[in-house]
Amino acid sequence: MAFEFTDSNFTEKASEGVVLVDFWATWCGPCRAIAPAIEELYADYKDKALVGKLDVDNNPEVAMKYNIRSIPTLLILKDGQVIHQHVGLTTKQVLANKLDAALAPVVA
Protein backbone atom coordinates (compact mmCIF):
# COMPACT_ATOMS: atom_id res chain seq x y z
CA MET A 1 0.00 0.00 0.00
CA ALA A 2 1.25 3.48 -0.88
CA PHE A 3 2.72 5.61 1.88
CA GLU A 4 0.15 7.52 3.91
CA PHE A 5 0.99 11.18 4.39
CA THR A 6 -0.56 13.05 7.31
CA ASP A 7 -0.47 16.60 8.62
CA SER A 8 2.02 15.43 11.26
CA ASN A 9 4.49 13.53 9.02
CA PHE A 10 4.29 15.50 5.77
CA THR A 11 7.04 18.06 6.34
CA GLU A 12 9.54 15.44 7.46
CA LYS A 13 8.75 12.94 4.70
CA ALA A 14 8.39 15.41 1.81
CA SER A 15 11.42 17.60 2.50
CA GLU A 16 14.12 15.42 0.88
CA GLY A 17 14.36 13.63 -2.44
CA VAL A 18 11.59 13.16 -4.98
CA VAL A 19 8.06 12.75 -3.62
CA LEU A 20 4.71 12.17 -5.37
CA VAL A 21 1.66 13.06 -3.28
CA ASP A 22 -1.87 12.14 -4.29
CA PHE A 23 -4.35 14.44 -2.52
CA TRP A 24 -7.58 12.44 -2.35
CA ALA A 25 -10.73 11.58 -0.35
CA THR A 26 -12.71 8.37 0.10
CA TRP A 27 -15.86 9.89 -1.48
CA CYS A 28 -14.04 11.02 -4.66
CA GLY A 29 -14.71 8.77 -7.67
CA PRO A 30 -11.78 9.98 -9.81
CA CYS A 31 -9.51 9.54 -6.75
CA ARG A 32 -10.56 5.89 -6.51
CA ALA A 33 -10.02 5.50 -10.26
CA ILE A 34 -6.39 6.67 -10.05
CA ALA A 35 -5.61 4.72 -6.86
CA PRO A 36 -4.35 1.54 -8.62
CA ALA A 37 -1.82 3.61 -10.62
CA ILE A 38 -0.58 5.26 -7.42
CA GLU A 39 -0.13 1.83 -5.80
CA GLU A 40 1.81 0.59 -8.84
CA LEU A 41 4.03 3.68 -8.84
CA TYR A 42 4.69 3.18 -5.14
CA ALA A 43 5.96 -0.33 -5.89
CA ASP A 44 7.86 0.70 -9.04
CA TYR A 45 9.66 3.64 -7.41
CA LYS A 46 10.07 2.42 -3.83
CA ASP A 47 13.88 2.62 -3.99
CA LYS A 48 13.98 5.93 -5.88
CA ALA A 49 11.10 8.14 -4.75
CA LEU A 50 8.42 8.27 -2.08
CA VAL A 51 4.92 7.81 -3.53
CA GLY A 52 1.99 8.32 -1.23
CA LYS A 53 -1.49 9.61 -0.59
CA LEU A 54 -2.90 12.30 1.66
CA ASP A 55 -6.58 12.16 2.65
CA VAL A 56 -7.70 15.80 2.51
CA ASP A 57 -10.63 15.20 4.87
CA ASN A 58 -8.39 13.86 7.64
CA ASN A 59 -5.39 16.15 6.96
CA PRO A 60 -6.65 19.64 6.10
CA GLU A 61 -3.47 21.53 7.10
CA VAL A 62 -1.28 20.22 4.28
CA ALA A 63 -4.12 20.55 1.76
CA MET A 64 -4.57 24.20 2.79
CA LYS A 65 -0.82 24.87 2.69
CA TYR A 66 -0.67 23.72 -0.94
CA ASN A 67 -3.98 25.41 -1.84
CA ILE A 68 -5.62 22.15 -2.92
CA ARG A 69 -9.05 23.07 -4.28
CA SER A 70 -9.90 20.03 -6.43
CA ILE A 71 -9.10 16.37 -6.04
CA PRO A 72 -7.38 14.35 -7.14
CA THR A 73 -4.45 16.75 -7.19
CA LEU A 74 -1.02 15.21 -7.64
CA LEU A 75 2.10 17.07 -6.60
CA ILE A 76 5.67 16.08 -7.33
CA LEU A 77 8.15 17.66 -4.95
CA LYS A 78 11.92 17.65 -5.11
CA ASP A 79 13.73 18.47 -1.88
CA GLY A 80 10.53 20.01 -0.51
CA GLN A 81 9.75 22.24 -3.52
CA VAL A 82 6.79 21.62 -5.84
CA ILE A 83 8.12 20.98 -9.34
CA HIS A 84 4.93 19.60 -10.94
CA GLN A 85 1.21 19.77 -10.23
CA HIS A 86 -1.58 17.89 -11.98
CA VAL A 87 -5.28 18.27 -11.19
CA GLY A 88 -7.68 15.49 -12.20
CA LEU A 89 -7.21 12.06 -13.67
CA THR A 90 -4.05 11.14 -15.50
CA THR A 91 -2.28 7.95 -16.47
CA LYS A 92 0.37 5.99 -14.66
CA GLN A 93 2.72 6.57 -17.61
CA VAL A 94 2.37 10.37 -17.45
CA LEU A 95 3.21 10.30 -13.74
CA ALA A 96 6.10 7.87 -14.30
CA ASN A 97 7.53 10.21 -16.94
CA LYS A 98 7.29 13.15 -14.52
CA LEU A 99 8.96 11.12 -11.75
CA ASP A 100 11.73 10.01 -14.12
CA ALA A 101 12.34 13.64 -15.13
CA ALA A 102 12.48 14.68 -11.47
CA LEU A 103 14.94 11.87 -10.70
CA ALA A 104 17.22 12.63 -13.66
CA PRO A 105 20.55 14.17 -12.75
CA VAL A 106 20.84 17.89 -13.40
CA VAL A 107 23.25 18.53 -16.26
CA ALA A 108 25.20 21.74 -15.86
Q: Which residues are known to be catalytic?
A: 28, 31
Question: What are the residues facing 54 on neighbouring strands?
Answer: 5, 23
SS3 percent helix, strand, coil of the chain, rounded to 5, is: 35, 25, 35
Residue 53: CB atoms within 10 A of its CB come to 24
Coil, helix or strand for 90? coil
In whole angstroms, what is the distance from residue 5 CA to residue 20 CA? Answer: 10
